[in-house]
Amino acid sequence: QVQLVESGGGLVQAGGSLRLSCAASGSIFSNNIMGWYRQAPGKQRDLVASITAGGSTNYADSVKGRFTISRDNAKKTVYLQMNSLKPEDTAKYYCKQERLWLGRPYDDWGQGTQVTVSS
């Protein structure tokens, strides 16, 4: 069974830092594209950052220079280091895994972890 479990969210003051973790199980993690998305109340879920199997990264303009995505294939974990946090970063953050199984694409999501940035 494929499972993604996020951790590391919490309440932080503006300018502070948090590191989110997403532990994967049940899939060949090293082959998969991993991403972090976020969703604020009443808004759509948007991409924050992604990282390919080869380590290429992509970031939303709003987080460039502040957030860093990384992965540890041995631990089957993807991380999101968030620095210089702003109140507008407040959202529920979700981990997503894009994988192939028997030639078909699948997207797996975690349950999310709340990040709240106070001003």
Helix (H, G, I), strand (E, B) or coil at 61: helix
Rg (CA), the chain: 14
Dist CA 50 CA 76 (whole Å): 15
Examine the pLDDT at 29 and tell me if it is beyond 90. Answer: no
44, two tokens: 């759509």
Helix, strand and coil content of the chain, in percent to the nearest 5, comes to: 10, 55, 35
Residues 36, 80: contact at Cβ < 8 Å?
Answer: yes
Sign of the dihedral through C-alpha 8, 11, 15, 16: negative
Examine the pLDDT at 21 and tell me if it is beyond 90. Answer: yes
Span 45-85, pLDDT tens digits: 999 999 999 999 999 999 999 999 999 999 999 999 999 99
- DSSP 8-state symbol, 97: E
> Within 13 Å, how many C-alpha atoms sit on residue 31's CB side?
10
Residue closest to 49 by CA, chosen among 38, 117, 18, 116: 38
13, amino acid identity: Q
**Per-residue model confidence (pLDDT) at position 49:** 98
